[in-house]
Structure 1
Amino acid sequence: MRVLYVITRSDVIGGASVHLLDLANGVQEAGHEVAIVVGGHGIFIEKARERGLRCISAIHLVRPLSVINDFRFYLEFRRIVLEWKPNLIHAHSSKAGIVGRLVAKTLSIPCVFTAHGWAFTEGVATSRRILYRCIERLVANFTDKIITVSDYDRSLALRSGVGAADLIVTIHNGMPSVTEEDSVTGSSKVTRLIMVARFEAPKDHVFLVRALASLPRSDWAMDFVGDGPTMPEVKNLVSELGLEDKFFFAGACSDVSERLSKSDVFCLISNWEGLPLTVLEAMRTGLPVIASRVGGVPEAVAQQETGILVDKHDHDGLVSALSTLIGSRDLRSKMGVMGKSRFLSDFTFELMLQRTISVYSDVTKV
């Protein structure tokens, strides 16, 4: 089988990018031929080629809506498809998903679309939500199967009139296994918290900083891993609060697994989500999770068992969750063990890959 993937951005490595790189690599190792079309010439292409994946840069695939550029990309992608002759197109991200499905429909090629959190989900600006809901209703008819990464997103699509029930299937994200890192728990009196996320919407680093600043205790330190446009704002807030000795900004890192293994609690504060890979990565490491109760997060984090879920914008609830886990090493250990067990049973890469290839076989009859 020849599978052509398409995703919008190459300038960042986010959850959808990591998911696609892992998936394409797994499908290739399973004996299929794959290629990836991506906008621009960014870091994504470098990461793909490191894995031996063929990557094609699309000149006109850009994130902002643009009638001219989008039409040019339609023609560009159509030419690539005609040259490469795939048995299946698998589109990821909103822009690539829209144009990719249009091209697939006009060329009568089976097409799968993965929604890594809908662009019309709760928390997104109203005008954008209305626009993308209308678009997704239309292009759903050009799709042979829609994969949502959470039951939350599947239900949202059905409530919004995006596709019929038999068109949409949930395949939870999965993470590949890694070499075990030695966890550094020692006898330190300082609880190390970590958040691995880009500094941009939907992540809410500012809300987390303000909650930590309100803690009645000081036996903690916070590591922020990632970069992005809102980082200066967060650094300025930390400085204004006089907490430069409590917060550490590592930037984009290639040693995330090692950093997680040296941490005690994982945090992910967001205004909306699909099913974030970083939560699964933390569970894989054996860390308890404090996260916003948004999107598919509750499908991964079992409340009061593998972590603590906090309602969006609930300042007092977040302060309480932080204080609880910082104050109890035994509870952190118990939740971490249960989280790792849950990861191994429900969120492994092998399980996700098997289910995805099964979808490919169903829509292509190959």
Structure 2
Amino acid sequence: MKIVYVITRSDVMGGASVHLLDLVRGVQEAGHEVYILVGGHGVFQARAKANHLSCISLRHMVRQISPANDWRGFFELKEIISKIKPDILHLHSSKAGILGRLVAKRLNIPVVFTVHGWSFTEGVSNKRRLVYKLIERFMANFADKIITVSNYDRKLALDLGVGNEKLLTTIHNGIPDSHRKIKRDLPFGHVIKLIMVARFEAPKNHNALLTALARLKHLPWIIEFVGDGPTMCNMTDLARDYGLAERVKFLGARNDVDTLLEKADIFCLISNWEGLPLTILEAMRAGLPVIASRVGGVPEAVQDGKTGILVDRDDEGALAQAITSLVESESLRIQMGQNGRQRFEKEFTFQTMLQKTMQIYDAVVQGNR
């Protein structure tokens, strides 16, 4: 089978980017011919090349809405896909999802769109929700199958009239297993290391986490923020204003996230909205207890009270209490971390995700013959 994947941005490595590279590598190793089309040049292309994946840059595929660029982007995409002649097109991210579906319709190519969190989800502005709901209602007519990474997103779409039961299917994210061993007991007096891996931009809420930590100066903790982005400087200033500069480390974008997770004690992901974050699965794989916002598909990964603690969006008091509970109790950290590792092995492995995705490809291609 010949498969073309399209994603909007090459300049950042978010969850959708990591998901796509893992998926394409697995599909290629299974013997299929794969191509990635991505907007611009950047770190995504470098990682694709390092994984021996064919990656083509698109000049006019940009995240921002731009009628002139989007018009050019449609014809650029159409020209490249016409030359490749794939059996199926698999789209990731909103802009690629829109232009790609229109191109697929014009070329009569089967098309699958994976949603890594709807743009009309809870937590975004009402105006944005309305606009994207109307767009996705219309664009649903141009897909052969829409994959949501959480049951939350599938139900949200159905409730708002985007697609139907037959069109929408859930395939939970899955990640390769690093075969990491669970951490042993910690020495007495150990300073507890928290870690949050996320870009400094919406939907992540680093502000709320720093505000909660400012209440907990009496506890023995430090935190590492991994990632970069437009709000990083603001958060650096906020940490200094709170008197936390010596306890908050801003590490920027890193290629050694697995190692950093191995050296941490608690994983945090505080967000205003989410799909099903890969970083939470990475934390569970590493045997870490998770503190996360109760948004999107997060509760489908984190079992509240068993593998971690979920807090309501913007409830900084509950967030502070969750951090306190895990910082003060080594036994709770260890038990939740072990439970999370077991849940990862049962529900969120890469092979399970790959097998379900290939079944979608087969069904879509057969249905278009």
| Equivalent in the alignment of 1:116 | 116
SS where residue 225 of structure 2 aligns?
strand
Match for 2:160: what amino acid? S
Matched, 1:10 2:10: yes
SS where residue 9 of structure 1 aligns?
coil
| Equivalent in the alignment of 2:85 | 85
Contact between 1:294 and 1:312, CA under 8 Å: does it hold in 2? yes
SS where residue 8 of structure 2 aligns?
strand
| Equivalent in the alignment of 1:28 | 28
| Equivalent in the alignment of 1:169 | 169
Judged with a 3 Å threshold, the aligned counterparts in structure 2 of structure 1 residues 74 and 112 are, in CA distance, closer, same or farther, namely same
| Equivalent in the alignment of 1:301 | 302
Match for 1:93: what amino acid? S
Measure the CA separation in 2 of the matches of 1:69 and 1:112.
23
Measure the CA separation in 2 of the matches of 1:74 and 1:181.
47
Measure the CA separation in 2 of the matches of 1:43 and 1:185.
37
What TM-score comes out, normalization by structure 2 length? Answer: 0.97
Write out per-residue CA displacement over residues 69-89 of structure 1, whole angstroms, 9 at most, x where no aligned residue. 101000000001110000000
Q: CA deviation at 1:185?
A: 5.2
Q: CA deviation at 1:347?
A: 0.2
Deviation larger for 237-246 or 301-310: 237-246
Match for 1:362: what amino acid? A
Q: CA deviation at 1:216?
A: 5.9
Matched, 1:352 2:349: no
Q: CA deviation at 1:189?
A: 2.5
Unpaired segments ≥5 residues, structure 1: none
Q: How does 1:68-83 map to 2 (within 5 A)?
A: 68-83=68-83
SS where residue 118 of structure 2 aligns?
coil
Measure the CA separation in 1 of the matches of 2:58 and 2:185.
46
Match for 2:116: what amino acid? H
Q: How many residue pairs align between the two structures?
A: 366
Q: How does 1:132-143 map to 2 (within 5 A)?
A: 132-143=132-143
Q: CA deviation at 1:182?
A: 7.2
SS where residue 49 of structure 1 aligns?
helix
Q: CA deviation at 1:184?
A: 7.0
Contact between 1:284 and 1:343, CA under 8 Å: does it hold in 2? yes
| Equivalent in the alignment of 1:46 | 46
| Equivalent in the alignment of 2:103 | 103
Match for 1:283: what amino acid? M
| Equivalent in the alignment of 1:333 | 334
Match for 1:47: what amino acid? R
Unpaired segments ≥5 residues, structure 2: none
Measure the CA separation in 2 of the matches of 1:21 and 1:351.
16
Match for 2:245: what amino acid? E
RMSD: 1.1
Q: Percent identity?
A: 57
Measure the CA separation in 2 of the matches of 1:340 and 1:179.
10
Measure the CA separation in 1 of the matches of 2:93 and 2:128.
15
Contact between 1:200 and 1:229, CA under 8 Å: does it hold in 2? yes
Contact between 1:171 and 1:352, CA under 8 Å: does it hold in 2? yes
Contact between 1:88 and 1:364, CA under 8 Å: does it hold in 2? yes
Contact between 2:289 and 2:336, CA under 8 Å: does it hold in 1? yes
Q: CA deviation at 1:127?
A: 1.8
Write out per-residue CA displacement over residues 261-314 of structure 1, whole angstroms, 9 at most, x where no aligned residue. 111000000000000000000000000000000000000000100000000000
